[in-house]
A = this chain, B = another copy of it.
Amino acid sequence: MTKTAEMQKASLRWKKAGLRVVLVPTMGALHQGHASLIRRARRLGDRVVVSSYVNPTQFNRRSDFRKYPMRPAADLNLAEHAGADVFFRPRSLYTSDASTWVEETARSRGRCGDRRPGHFRGVATVVTKLLGIVQPDVAVFGEKDLQQCEVIERLVRDLYLPVKIVRHPTIREKDGLAMSSRNLRLSPRQRVLAAVWAKAVRVAAQERGGAVPRRLRRLLQNVSGLRLEYAEVVGRHLCAAAWLGSVRLIDNRKCGLKR
């Protein structure tokens, strides 16, 4: 389905019929992390909508937007197999004269918010649009994007939107790398470094307090081809971002757990 009006009509009809609608918003390039979100959504309601939209306003770098992986046919297949009722792929969510922005100004500060100016404004705006179109009772987001979860939970609370936000645990490759569509852009050598990165995050998170980010910095300081962007403990999580060439990866782990 690509038409917003048609999607909204279908969803409002389901709700009138007493059905529980669950939304899984994605930017396409679906992987097993998404499949897990969709299976979770399946258990949470009666109709599962998987949206696929590469939102231009949340990319602070034009090149990152241009290079974002796209494979709609494979996506449709994966979404259906994981249990989606509707694969919603709007052509655009911004008319040429669109002029409305949603901005969350507290939880968007720090971490990715400081390093990607405008990113969370784009996220908040597009998520509000998707919630407007689909009117879900529940929406499922991956914990890999932890700050995004925090921003959206705050937005939904502040705007009194009648939707429950469910956080779903990060799904990882066998070597521990958090699944992400951007992993597709890694060279074979970078893919090896990405596993080193994921392990370093896991190991550093076993420390306590101020030692956590220090440990991560030390673990990665001699890894060439990898640049740590930030490492911070927020609440009970070590949150970190790193660059491998032109690919930026993020990850987070609960602190103080042996794994």
Within 8 A of B (CB), among A123-164: 124, 128-129, 132-133, 135, 154-155, 157-162
**Is A36 an interface position by the 8 A CB rule?**
no
- Of the listed stretches A21-29, A99-107, A167-175, chain B binds A99-107
Beta-carbon contact of A12 and B132 below 8 Å: no
Cα of A124 to Cα of B132 in the assembled complex, Å: 15
Contacting residue for A99 out of B4, B104, B162, CB 8 A: B104
Give the number of copies in the complex.
2
Cα of A18 to Cα of B12 in the assembled complex, Å: 11
Beta-carbon contact of B160 and A8 below 8 Å: yes
Beta-carbon contact of A107 and B99 below 8 Å: yes
Beta-carbon contact of B159 and A129 below 8 Å: yes
Beta-carbon contact of B99 and A102 below 8 Å: no
**Is A15 an interface position by the 8 A CB rule?**
yes
Residues in B with CB closer than 8 Å to A157 are 95
Beta-carbon contact of A160 and B101 below 8 Å: no
Within 8 A of B (CB), among A80-137: 93-95, 97-107, 124, 128-129, 132-133, 135
In the assembled complex, the CB of A236 is this many whole angstroms from the nearest CB of chain B, namely 20
**Is A16 an interface position by the 8 A CB rule?**
yes
Residues in B with CB closer than 8 Å to A160 are 4, 8, 93, 129, 132-133
Beta-carbon contact of A100 and B135 below 8 Å: no
Cα of A124 to Cα of B154 in the assembled complex, Å: 17
Residues in B with CB closer than 8 Å to A100 are 102-105, 124, 154-155, 158-159
Cα of A9 to Cα of B114 in the assembled complex, Å: 38
Beta-carbon contact of B106 and A132 below 8 Å: no
Q: Mark A7-49, 1 if CB is under 8 A from B, else 0.
A: 0100010011010000000000000000000000000000000
Cα of A133 to Cα of B161 in the assembled complex, Å: 7
Beta-carbon contact of A162 and B104 below 8 Å: no
Residues in B with CB closer than 8 Å to A107 are 99
Given A101-B105, A129-B158, 6 other A-B residues pairs in contact with their CB atoms under 8 A:
A93-B160, A95-B157, A99-B105, A99-B158, A102-B159, A132-B160
Can you list 16 A-B contacts with CB-CB less than 8 angstroms, sorted by A residue number?
A8-B162, A15-B15, A16-B18, A94-B158, A95-B157, A97-B106, A99-B104, A99-B106, A99-B107, A100-B104, A100-B159, A101-B103, A129-B159, A132-B159, A132-B161, A132-B162
